[in-house]
Structure 1
Amino acid sequence: MDLDEVAAAVVARRPAWQQAGLAVEPVTWRDASAPWPQRLETDRSKVTDPDSVGIHLRGAPETELHIVLYRGGWADVDHLVSLDDPGVIPAPAMGSAEAFETLLDNWVARVFGFRGPADQDEVPDAGQ
């Protein structure tokens, strides 16, 4: 899995997500060759052997989506719809950045009701 391609896909979606009212945290990187405990970095140049990227989106009022994608093609996907409604979204194994992008769009739609730029006019409150 090319994690740099994944990060580029997230960056490309950032303006549409922000326009829909989502707060988009910087992509985080974990370096497999870093000593334990491994720090999460937002600066890709500080990571020599990336083994995961993290994505964190927040919507109103308490809605969150947190994804960690590992270079082996699996992901941990957690969401919070409200303080009383956290959950985990099952993620199938992925073989490419393109496969991840499709799943990413589906997860964002599931949690925030927002699929992409075409939906911007239809989603007045991204937290619903």
Structure 2
Amino acid sequence: MDRIIDLDQAAAEITSRLSAWTARGLFLAPITWRDETAPWPQPLETGRVLVTDPDSVGVRIQSADGSNFVSIVLFRGGWADLDVLANDEVTMECPQITHPEEFGALLDSAITRFMDATSVTHTDATSVTHTMEER
């Protein structure tokens, strides 16, 4: 996989937001890393020191009441997987990310769109939204 983005810098974008998110009552799972050189299936590690050749970094954020969550995984090839369950709707997006600052903006946008809103309405052509009843 091409190295488009520095995942350590992207992880710094996550950690710089942790205290603000917890102050808002959001619950955070540990940051996860995947090592490209690990044998298949590649496990997710929560310690950066356990990963010699990272190809992804991710975080899962859950609402205070546990009903909504946002999962964001950034791949060093320059894209992210954004998976959301909010207000009984599932949303998936795969935006292109080429700089750590863009990843930070995606983190902020996801929290604003899916943790602050009382209803999810998203019309971006790169996303797919399904209600839980459709699944």
Q: Is contact 2:31–2:59 with CA below 8 Å preserved after alignment?
A: yes
Is residue 73 from structure 1 mapped to residue 88 from structure 2 by the alignment?
no
When the two structures are superposed, what TM-score results if normalisation uses the length of structure 2?
0.78
What amino acid is the match of 2:54? Answer: P
Q: Deviations over 1:19-69 (max 9, x none)?
A: 001001111000000011111000100100000011100003311000111
Work out the percentage of aligned pairs sharing the same amino acid. Answer: 46
Q: Is contact 2:37–2:52 with CA below 8 Å preserved after alignment?
A: yes
What corresponds to 2:131 in structure 1?
none
Structure 1 vs Structure 2 CA RMSD:
1.3
What corresponds to 1:125 in structure 2?
none
What corresponds to 2:91 in structure 1?
87
What corresponds to 2:128 in structure 1?
none
Is residue 64 from structure 1 mapped to residue 72 from structure 2 by the alignment?
no
Is residue 30 from structure 1 mapped to residue 34 from structure 2 by the alignment?
yes
Q: Is contact 2:13–2:103 with CA below 8 Å preserved after alignment?
A: no
Q: Which has the larger share of strand?
A: 2
1:75 is displaced (CA, Å) by: 0.8
What corresponds to 2:116 in structure 1?
113
When the two structures are superposed, what TM-score results if normalisation uses the length of structure 1?
0.82
Q: Distance in 2 between matches of 1:91 and 1:97?
A: 16
Q: Which runs of 5+ in 2 are unaligned?
A: 118-135
Of the three residues 9, 12, 17, the one matched with 2:16 is 12
Q: Give the secondary structure class of the aligned counterpart of 1:104.
A: helix
Is residue 103 from structure 1 mapped to residue 123 from structure 2 by the alignment?
no
Q: Is contact 2:26–2:61 with CA below 8 Å preserved after alignment?
A: yes
Q: Distance in 2 between matches of 1:52 and 1:76?
A: 10
What amino acid is the match of 1:60? Answer: A
